[in-house]
Structure 1
Amino acid sequence: MRDGLASGPLSPSTPSPPGSSALRATNPLSTKVTTVLSTSYADAEFRDALSLLDERGVSNSAETRRQLRLDVQKDVIDSNGEIIIEFGRVAEQLQRIGTTIEILNKSYQEMKSHVTAAHESTSSTLQEASLLMVQKQNVETKQQLLKALREHFVLSEDEVASLSLTSEPVDDRFFVVLAKAKKIRNDCEVLLGFENQTLGLEILEQTSKHLNLAFQKLYRWIQREFNTLNLENPQINSSVRRALRVLAERPTLFQNCLDFFAEAREQILSDSFYLALTGTSASGQEDRSVKPIELVAHDSLRYVGDMLAWTHSATVSEREALEVLFVSEGNEIARGIQEGRENELWRLMADEADAPPEFDAVKALNDLVDRDVSGAARILRQRLEQVIQTNEDTILAYKLANLLNFYRVTFSKLLGAKSVLLESMMNIESEALRQFRSLMRDHITTLQVEFQHTPSDLGPPEFLQDSLKQLTAIMKTYETSLASSGDREADFEPILTESFDPFISGCENMSKNIESPSNSVFFINCLLAARTSLAPFDFTQTRVGILQSTIDEQAERLVDNQYSYFRRESGLEPIFNELGRLTDTKEDIAKIRKMEALSPEALTAASQNLDDFLPSALMDAMESLRHLQDSKLTRDVTEEAAERFCVDFEHVEEMLIFADELAEQERMDGQVAESDESHSLRALFPRTTGEIRVLLS
């Protein structure tokens, strides 16, 4: 249609005829056309109008264009009519709604009046119901409080029966109820904090009564269990351990249980020890599966060792079992006893200074084990004392004492320093040492006669050799003992005093009755034998040093004796005595020729005697020490004496040379006339120190 309008007679591209301007001013059509032509195609309303025409399918014709406005107006009128009809329907509906609202308002007013009347008539009932609801809520709250109070502070009849009746078992339920009762007792302190303490006091009194009955029941149950307790079965011990940890809160009952247990275990261990000793039970019934210890009673050392070994094994087993029973799970018992002491009335009233010491679980365990084995310890002591008193062998007596020392140290590590068993062992060890000393003194007494006879070869006497063999056996025994390295030498000194010093003193006294040098040779031989016996052991080194010092002193006496022999047998002693006092001063040298011992005849004789002496001098000197059993010492002594002799000879040689030089100087100075008789001392005594050293080496 848009194209038709554009190509029609009214198209804007068609040229206007002349004189058209005047017509446009008065022609309505021209005005319309101008309006249409002035309308912008980009206007939205214009585009909508064109689109509407396209939808209506209007053709672009003169008829259509004439009828278009009429048709549009007709359409508008029809649309308005339809709207009016619809609004009429709406009005009818609104009228119906108004009628309905009026009915509802009327019904509402009627209901409101009924409700107001009902409210007025039920207001008192509602108030009463509200009060009842509040009362109900308060009652329910009180019921909950009462229920919580009963559950927390009151034991049920079944729980009370579980705590107090002996017919009820001591099982997990018993301990659960007991823990609940203890918690109730502790929580009663909260109730006692209020103004009204009646409830708290009543509950506390009732709970304390139930707890006392429970602990009494537990105490009797533990006693029954102790009668049949097998310490080697840990499964059985678990329930007893738990019961003991709970009973510890009653220290008095706990201590009574320990006393009862100790008495029972003491009797059991005593019977077991008697069975091990004899193979027969305390009732007299023979047990063929046991090899009696008494079968080796003839061997005292083994007999004592077996008894001590059994006691040690039983003590270790008892301690391990009781450690599992009493100490294995921390310090529950200690805490329980401490808590029980704090809660005891007489403890609360006592002064803090009088408070008992803190419970030591290890010490209590050691004391309990010591009490358990005390019965066996009494039997052991009787048997040991019998063995010690009947023994007459000195070495065996010491071995028994050393064996007792070994087990005493072992028991002290096992049970501590204070125990009945350890005290018994110490007394028995002291008895064994006394017996050893007594036997040693008796042995020395019997040897008093032998102390008067010196062997012909000046060797160690037989009694000393026997005593050293005996001492060696003792030292080997002591070497295996448990004495600490710092105290070993001091601890062994009393043994040396008893078993060594008397024999050395006897040898020393014997040497005093012998002529020199045999006395020193004899005594040195005895000391050498003693040193050889003591040297291998580290705990006798001080005594070995003393022996060596004594040997050196006696060796020095032999050196003096050998030196005297060289001086005497060489014939030079007079010359040594004369010249030994002189020095190399001119005055002393001038005196030499005037000495009688240095006269030509004396010097010639001395020189000849020296020549006769020197070839066999060393062998003859060593022959005098042939009985000395240390050849090296013999050689050292002789060589030292020879050296001293050579030193003296060297002094003589020097003095003779000085004398000859002085005489020669005097002749040259004219102090001595040529006619005076003179002689050379060195010509008369030609031996040199070098020659002497060679011949005496």
Structure 2
Amino acid sequence: MTSYLQERTLRPGPSPDALGISSPGTPSQGVGPRANALSSRITSVLSASYSDLDIRDALETLDARGIKNNQETRRRLRLDVQKEVIQCNADIIKDFGQVAAQLRRIGVAIENLNRCCDDMRAHINASNRESAPVLEEASSLFNQKVQVETKAKLLDVFNSHFIISERDVMVLTSTSEPVNDEFFQVLTRVKKIHSDCQILLGSENQVLGLELLEQSSKQLNAAFQKLYRWIQREFKNLDLENPQINASIRRSIRVLAERPALFQSCLDAFAGARENILSESFYNALTGTGESQMKPIEFQAHDPLRYIGDMLAWAHSAAVSEKEALEVLFVSEGDEIARSIKLGLESEPWTREDGEESGQEAYDGRKALNELVSHDLKGVARLLRQRTEQVTQSHDDPVLVYKIANLVAFYRSTFKKLVGEDSEVLEILDELQDSAFRRFKANMQDHLVTVQSDLGAAPEDLSPPEFLTEALNMLKALLTSYDTSMATADDQDSSFQPVLTEALDPCLNACEKMYKSLTEPENDVFAINCLMQTRATLTPFTFTGDRITELGSRLNKHASNLVAYQHRYLLDESGLNTLIFALGEVADSKDSIAKIPTLPPFSPDSLVAISQKLDDFLPSALMDARENVKCLNNAQIAQDITEHAADKFCEDFEAVEEKILAVDEMQDGKREDEEEPCMRDLFPRTSGEIKVLLS
């Protein structure tokens, strides 16, 4: 291609005249259309780009053929190319001729194959017509065989699922056969059969389902009756002291719970047997009979509190042991018994109690256990009540009877935690506690009647009377007993209030009568001594807060009375009372103050006399005042009362002093005789001196 381009470039091109293109100034000579076509052709050639890919490929082809760019070659180039094209077309036609020959041979082979297929189809159709009846009969026989085999399998499965063997029936219903794992396995299978019979009842033929349902029901009823009788026999010989109770009994109870009526009957029989056993054991522990190696409880009958405590302790120990043993039987299986009873109530709705909803759980294991333990202890509780009431009725000591009541209350709270609030044992203990408290009240009333019949005058030293001291000693014993009875903090105050009403209030009322028979200040001193001793007895105990507050209010009232008395005593003995009484009608105005010298108590002679009386009184004023309250058992209270009265006296003196100074201030400069003494000269004592002397 390079040589061709070089030759094309170096060789001069044809002149415009040779190409038939006239110059601009040369006119055309009748060759208009041809000249235009040639001109367009030349313009197209000249406008072609050598960078065009088609031109480049054509030039490369020419270069590959080694064609030289000369006039001869250019004239033959088209002919050579057309010759080559014609040759190639001839070769293609030749090749297609060979393909057509092959196709003709294939067509002949296909026709032969079609003829063979038609022959074979004819033979097959003939064979089908001859074998169709045989095939239909064989297919029908095959389907019948499949159906028979399916029915046989269904029959085997049905028999294996819904029919139990004679051996299994004997294991399930015969009382000579033991209640073991095999029994429970067969029972489980029969229950499954009974449940699955519901499916058969939904089929078209319900006769078979009804027959199987009736048969399984009879077998189940017989099995549960056998299990019920077996459990009753086992309960008679059951040793609850053995920690390893037979697991088969627990399993049997759980299974029997599916028949709530039988289960409850079994529990009632068991509870009755346990009640008799525990009652006999308690009686043996009391009297020492039987095989018990322990010392009989009745040996401590001379000590009532210990005697009753030992009986209650035995009952509590028996309740704990009973609950632990029965818990293994009725609670250790979790909620299985509850689920079994619920299942039984659903299958036997006529056994459900009135008003009980179908979805409500009818069994609470813990509650049933507490009820069973409570029922087992009924006989023990009756014996305990009988002997405890004998003890309380035969003793007149109110402290002892109250200690017994508190002891019963302590064990009642213990039994409440053990067997619940609805236990019959708690009802018996409540009756015992009420009976003991009634006896305590009766004994206290008898004691107080005796005390009040011998009621005399207050002691000369104004100390609490002997009957109050005895009552407080008794009350202290009652408080100590109650404090150790583990009464709940919420109701301690209210629970002990009746005891205070019975044991303390009558004595305080008797002291109140003595108080009214005394004169002032002995009555308030006597009252304070009695109340202080009473409060000292109640203070160590937290549950007497309300009564201590009440006593404090009464003490403050009597202390205020003594303060008022001491204040009046100081005013009367000092003579200051006369001045204060005279100043009662004097106001703070100048006119009113100016009238003070005209008042009789403020005359010079009277004022000098009062001042002298005050001077004579002050050195021993506090000692004389303390003599009035010397019988107070609490020296601190006596001192506080006297000091409070002295403070009030000082306040009164300051008021008198202010009025005297005000009078002197108004009379300064008005006094005609300067040697005339002023009121301060006649009454020289100052409030500061008074405070020092009375401090």
TM-score, normalised via structure 1 length: 0.78
Give the number of aligned pairs.
566
State the SS of the aligned residue for 1:562.
helix
The residue type paired with residue 371 of structure 2 is D
Residues 155/275 of structure 1: CA separation in 2 closer, same or farther (3 Å cut): same
Note the C-alpha offset of 1:234: 4.1
In the other structure, the counterpart of 2:240 is 231
Residues 610/163 of structure 1: CA separation in 2 closer, same or farther (3 Å cut): same
In the other structure, the counterpart of 1:363 is 367
Residues 452/570 of structure 1: CA separation in 2 closer, same or farther (3 Å cut): same
Q: Say if 2:493 and 2:544, in contact at 8 Å, map to a contact too.
A: yes
Q: Say if 2:342 and 2:361, in contact at 8 Å, map to a contact too.
A: no
State how far apart, in whole Å, the 1-side matches of 2:243 and 2:452 are.
65
Note the C-alpha offset of 1:141: 3.5
Q: 1:513 aligns with which of 496, 512, 517?
A: 517
Note the C-alpha offset of 1:257: 0.4
Q: Does 1:493 align with 2:497?
A: yes
What percent identity do the matched residue pairs reach? 54
State how far apart, in whole Å, the 2-side matches of 1:475 and 1:181 are.
67
Note the C-alpha offset of 1:136: 5.5
Q: Does 1:397 align with 2:404?
A: no
In the other structure, the counterpart of 1:36 is none
Q: 1:143 aligns with which of 152, 156, 166?
A: 152
- Which is worse superposed, 625-634 or 349-358? 349-358
State how far apart, in whole Å, the 2-side matches of 1:193 and 1:349 are.
31
Q: Say if 1:489 and 1:540, in contact at 8 Å, map to a contact too.
A: yes
Q: Say if 1:450 and 1:463, in contact at 8 Å, map to a contact too.
A: no
The residue type paired with residue 396 of structure 1 is L
The residue type paired with residue 693 of structure 1 is K
Q: 1:189 aligns with which of 198, 217, 225?
A: 198
In the other structure, the counterpart of 2:681 is 683
Q: 1:177 aligns with which of 164, 186, 196?
A: 186
State how far apart, in whole Å, the 2-side matches of 1:650 and 1:231 are.
90
Note the C-alpha offset of 1:465: 1.0
Q: Does 1:599 align with 2:597?
A: no
Note the C-alpha offset of 1:204: 1.0
State the SS of the aligned residue for 1:333.
helix
In the other structure, the counterpart of 2:633 is 629
Q: Say if 2:172 and 2:183, in contact at 8 Å, map to a contact too.
A: yes
Q: Say if 1:570 and 1:610, in contact at 8 Å, map to a contact too.
A: yes
Q: Does 1:242 align with 2:251?
A: yes
The residue type paired with residue 310 of structure 1 is W
Superposed CA RMSD in Å reads 2.4
In the other structure, the counterpart of 2:642 is 638
Note the C-alpha offset of 1:472: 1.1
State how far apart, in whole Å, the 1-side matches of 2:134 and 2:321 are.
85
Note the C-alpha offset of 1:433: 0.9
Per-residue CA deviation, residues 401-424 of structure 1 (Å, 9 max, x unaligned), is 111111111111111111110100
In the other structure, the counterpart of 1:80 is none
State how far apart, in whole Å, the 1-side matches of 2:570 and 2:243 are.
88
In the other structure, the counterpart of 2:452 is 448
Per-residue CA deviation, residues 550-583 of structure 1 (Å, 9 max, x unaligned), is 1111111111111111111112221221123323
The residue type paired with residue 226 of structure 2 is K
State how far apart, in whole Å, the 2-side matches of 1:215 and 1:501 are.
67
State how far apart, in whole Å, the 2-side matches of 1:277 and 1:138 are.
81
Structure 2 unaligned spans of 5+: 1-129
Residues 528/450 of structure 1: CA separation in 2 closer, same or farther (3 Å cut): farther
State the SS of the aligned residue for 1:451.
coil
Structure 1 unaligned spans of 5+: 1-119, 282-286, 668-673
State how far apart, in whole Å, the 2-side matches of 1:423 and 1:646 are.
67
Per-residue CA deviation, residues 142-182 of structure 1 (Å, 9 max, x unaligned), is 33222211110001000000011101000000000000000
Q: Does 1:323 align with 2:327?
A: yes
Q: Say if 2:200 and 2:206, in contact at 8 Å, map to a contact too.
A: yes
1:238-637 counterparts in 2 under 5 A?
A: 238-281=247-290, 287=291, 289-344=293-348, 346=350, 358-637=362-641
State how far apart, in whole Å, the 2-side matches of 1:362 and 1:582 are.
85
- Which is worse superposed, 252-261 or 477-486? 477-486
Residues 351/495 of structure 1: CA separation in 2 closer, same or farther (3 Å cut): closer
Q: Say if 2:341 and 2:362, in contact at 8 Å, map to a contact too.
A: no
State how far apart, in whole Å, the 2-side matches of 1:522 and 1:142 are.
112
State how far apart, in whole Å, the 2-side matches of 1:533 and 1:352 are.
56
TM-score, normalised via structure 2 length: 0.78
Residues 138/592 of structure 1: CA separation in 2 closer, same or farther (3 Å cut): closer
Q: Say if 1:451 and 1:507, in contact at 8 Å, map to a contact too.
A: no
State how far apart, in whole Å, the 2-side matches of 1:271 and 1:632 are.
64
State how far apart, in whole Å, the 2-side matches of 1:628 and 1:349 are.
73
State how far apart, in whole Å, the 1-side matches of 2:667 and 2:136 are.
166
